[in-house]
Structure 1
Amino acid sequence: MNLPSVDELKGKWREQMGAAKVAWGELTDDELLKVEGHEDKLAGLIEQRYAISREEAEKQVKHFFDSHRG
């Protein structure tokens, strides 16, 4: 199985940003661009912005990516 390139991941992330904005409306477009679809970075941002546990943030991010992979 071939892993997607970094450019492919970034392209897919740009497509998913709209859905991420709906899921986490308090995050800005700039913040979402900076995380570039990295689950760990996104979880950290959500943890800080929404004042939730890291575990809960990671769970939300995992659910988001599981339901938006295509």
Structure 2
Amino acid sequence: MSAFSDKVKGNWNQIKGKAKQEYADLTDDDFLYEEGKEDEMFGRLQEKTGKTKQQVKDWLDSL
């Protein structure tokens, strides 16, 4: 697990709330996170936001 993922997991509820405020069409299902399946979650977020995987990671890290 990367340091990014550790940080995200530690603040997950706050991050989800801020992200959903910025992109109203994001749902709780888009943020389903399972160990080892972060690529799937990032793929859903990429699709909804139009960002690259790295941009999604950077965006979530900034929240």
Query: Structure 1-normalised TM-score?
Result: 0.49
TM-aligned CA deviation for residue 9 of structure 1: 4.8
Distance 1:28 1:67, change over 3 A: same
Q: Give identity over the alignment, percent.
A: 32
Summarize the Cα distance change of 1:35–1:57 in structure 2 as closer, same or farther, 3 Å threshold. Answer: farther
Higher relative contact order at CA 8 Å, sep ≥6: structure 1 or structure 2?
2
Give the unaligned 5+ runs of structure 1.
Answer: none
Residues 3-26 of structure 1, C-alpha deviations (whole Å, 9 max, x = no match):
6xx6x7534111211111123321
* Kept after mapping to 1: 8 A contact 2:26/2:48: yes
* CA distance, structure 1, for counterparts of residue 58 and residue 8 of structure 2: 18
Aligned length: 56
Unaligned runs of 5+ residues in structure 2 are none
C-alpha RMSD of the superposition: 3.0
